[in-house]
Amino acid sequence: MTVLAHYRNVPAPFRGLSVALGNFDGVHAGHRAVLDAARSAAHGVDFGVATFEPPPRAFFRPDDPPFRLYRPARRNAQLQALGARAVYELPFNADMAAMTDETFARDVLATGLGVQHVTVGFAFRFGRGRMGDAARLSSLGRALGFGVTIVDKIESLEQKASSTAIREALIAGAPDRASVLLGHDWVVDGLVEHGEKRGRTLGFPTANLHLGELIHPRHGVYAVRVRIEDSGDWRPGVANFGRTPTTGIRDPLLETFLFDFDGDLYGRWIEVALVAYLRPELTFTGVEEMVDQMHLDCDAARARLGRTRAG
């Protein structure tokens, strides 16, 4: 799969595609309905995805807390797994924000990408001030020479998924609800960083990740599964996300302890799937009380993970 960070001078092999257009943050069940429709509408041409980078929300509201469900590379990997030949990361900047709906359809879709067909969800909006809707895109497509499919709202539970609903579930400490909406566990990924190394001295060495631009779930302890780069196995573990009020206030950090694992993960890429929320962060009177609770957390995580399948 090829990722293009522009819409001008697109190489010939990546013009004339059937394109799914939208934000696709999380690639949840609702998004997959749009992607499936775009693939079905291809009729002998390749299937691609056009999204915005950065997301319009990040452009218009730069001071908002982190909100992304996935990093672009993870999103793109999921799109490739669903059959996308190309992903167009349309640069959302001041010029694009100022485009009318007609200008966007003409300059970006018709002239820039040379699309044959565009598929969007029923709630899609585009153009300056969100002036255009899906019906307007269909009208513009007829005038500019490309087809448009509008995917209607589907009433099944999974199809009611939205990125907003998934974010709300994670902020509420309900990763199990988020997994239903996503169709799989929510996964954080990144390079393992050096931390304060207090866990190692207590017998609980952790792999530490800063979430950066990813949404921050509710602070507390989670049952998790972990996959280390170049390994297909998901390993059970327990993780704390937060500021660890007992040992000191610092930027929120995801600290993951892998069960029955002995190895050095510093600088390695890992994926951490949040399976279940176990408890909120606590303030302890001393180290001994904290270690006792960590043992209880491990027991609770093992029990919870024993009732679920990986993925």
pLDDT digits (tens, 9 = 90+) for 159-214: 467 899 999 999 999 999 999 989 899 999 999 988 665 655 566 889 999 999 99
Categorize the per-residue pLDDT at 232 as very low, low, confident or very high, splitting at 50, 70 and 90.
confident
Per the structure, how many domains does the chain have? 2
Q: Are residues 80 and 208 in the same domain?
A: no
Distance of alpha carbon 88 from the chain centroid: 17
Look at residue 197 in the predicted model and tell me its pLDDT. Answer: 59
Domain endpoint, select from 159, 180, 198: 159
Q: Give residue 2's identity as a one-letter amino acid code.
A: T
Whether 69 shows a pLDDT value over 90: the answer reads yes
Mean of all residue pLDDT scores within the chain: 91
Q: Quickly count helices (H) and strands (E) in the chain.
A: 10, 14
Please say if the pLDDT value at position 40 is more than 80.
yes
Greater confidence (190 vs 249) lies with 190
Q: Please state which of the ranges 55-69, 148-162, 216-230, 276-290 shows the lowest mean pLDDT.
A: 148-162
Domain of residue 138, CATH code: 3.40.50.620
pLDDT at 125: 96
Which one is predicted more confidently, 112 or 285? 112
Spatial CA neighbour of 23 closest among 114, 96, 88, 81: 88
DSSP state of 12: G
Which domain range does residue 132 map to? 2-159
Task: Outline where DSSP puts E strands in 92-213.
Answer: 117-121, 125-126, 132-133, 147-151, 186-191, 207-209
In a shared domain, residues 174 and 208: yes
In the predicted model, what is the mean pLDDT of residues 64-89?
A: 96
Reported as a pLDDT band with limits 50, 70 and 90, residue 286 is confident
Residue 143 maps to a domain: yes
d(CA 107, CA 75): 25
Does residue 254 form part of some domain? yes
pTM of the full predicted structure?
0.89
> Distance of alpha carbon 169 from its chain centroid, rounded?
14
Residues 141 and 46 both lie in one domain: yes
In CATH, what number is assigned to the domain containing residue 198? 2.40.30.30
Residue 50 has pLDDT above 80, yes or no: yes
Considering the domain architecture, whether residues 181 and 243 belong to the same structural domain is answered as: yes
Q: Domain boundary residue among 106, 126, 159?
A: 159
Same domain, 91 and 234: no
Do 227 and 263 have their domain in common? Answer: yes
* 185-203 residues labelled b (16+ CB within 10 A) or e (exposed): bbbbbbebeebeebbeeee
> 240 and 227: one domain?
yes
Radius of gyration of the CA atoms of the chain, in A = 22
